[in-house]
Structure 1
Amino acid sequence: MMARKYRLGVTRKAANVVVTALLARGIPVTGGTGFLLTTRGRRSGKDRTTPVNVLEAGGKRWLVSPYGQVGWVHNLRADPTAGLRRGRARETWEVEEADAATAGPVLRAYVRKIPVTAPFFDAKLSDPVAVFAAEADRHPVFRLARSRA
């Protein structure tokens, strides 16, 4: 069975509007892992904001793209600066993309923490980390490396 492909349809757009409004007001969503991520558009140069989940694993903070090569992934690759906010709390981070070996355990932890994303992975929760690492090229992982506070 193959993983579902992410499509930004009407329902998901509406959900993103609601989640964005809640996060902008400082109301935590998805178990307190939700933040608004702001990146600089790789072509436009304009700020782009989208709701994301930040995973804490292995004493580090991670951005995971459960839906694949989406816009914010391309933007971070072009300019590895991530703005995170929830309510009035704002942080700016330099990010580093993780290699497959590093991403494997993070992806597994992400799917366990946010199981709604599981259908977008070929790997199942019971699979070893190596199976998740094999999917790292389809689900980019970025470490929040250095705060620019």
Structure 2
Amino acid sequence: MDAGGRVDGRRRGWVRRAVDGLVTAMVRRGTGPRGTVLLTVAGRTSGEPRTTPVTLVERDGVRWLVAPYGPVGWVRNVRAVGVVEARRGRRTERLVAEEVDAATGAPVLRQYLQEVAVVRRVFDVAPGDPVEAFVPLVPTHPVFRLRPA
């Protein structure tokens, strides 16, 4: 999604904007979809905090951040700054986000697709496809390893 609210060149519809607003309000209260947090990162040019709801996945005791809509604004900000805040309810964590290579990110991307059904429409693979099918997708759907700052 870019600054104009477009995903893959298409503008988000009113339904998607309403759902995002509802999810954001729920996560602020500490409820909402499992694994969903409010990700806050400093803008790469303005330095102003930017917040968006994202769903994290956990794999082998590590938390991962996936960009299902590609290198949108928050992804470019994370790449530039490398430090994010993840908030759910009253709990806020400061985390270092490290972008990983395609081989490392592919199994995470596959797991993400298995767990987060709402994004499946933007992928050309199915959740049950072999992990090798996800390797070429990681450059266009970046994956970040998260660790405490």
Is the TM-score greater than 0.5?
yes
Tell me by how many angstroms 1:83 deviates.
Answer: 0.1
SS of 1:13's partner is: helix
Aligned mates of 1:41, 1:53 — CA distance in 2? 20
In structure 1, stretches of 5+ residues that fail to align are none
Q: 1:112-127 alignment to 2 at 5 Å?
A: 112-127=114-129
Q: Do residues 16 (structure 1) and 20 (structure 2) align?
A: yes
Q: Do residues 54 (structure 1) and 48 (structure 2) align?
A: no
Tell me which residue corresponds to 1:142: 144
Tell me by how many angstroms 1:126 deviates.
Answer: 2.6
Deviates more, 1:105-114 or 1:125-134: 125-134
Aligned mates of 1:7, 1:141 — CA distance in 2? 24
Aligned mates of 2:135, 2:146 — CA distance in 1? 19
Q: 1:43-82 alignment to 2 at 5 Å?
A: 43-82=45-84
- State how many pairs are aligned: 142
Aligned mates of 2:14, 2:87 — CA distance in 1? 25
Residue identity opposite 2:127 in structure 1: L
SS of 2:69's partner is: coil
Tell me by how many angstroms 1:132 deviates.
Answer: 0.7
Tell me which residue corresponds to 2:4: none
Aligned mates of 2:56, 2:75 — CA distance in 1? 14
**Counterpart selection for 2:37 from 35, 46, 70:** 35
Query: Which portions of structure 1, spanning 4 or more consecutive aligned residues, are displaced by more than 6 angstroms?
Result: none
Aligned mates of 1:24, 1:115 — CA distance in 2? 22
Percent of aligned pairs with the same residue?
Answer: 46
TM-score of the superposition, structure 2-length normalised?
0.90
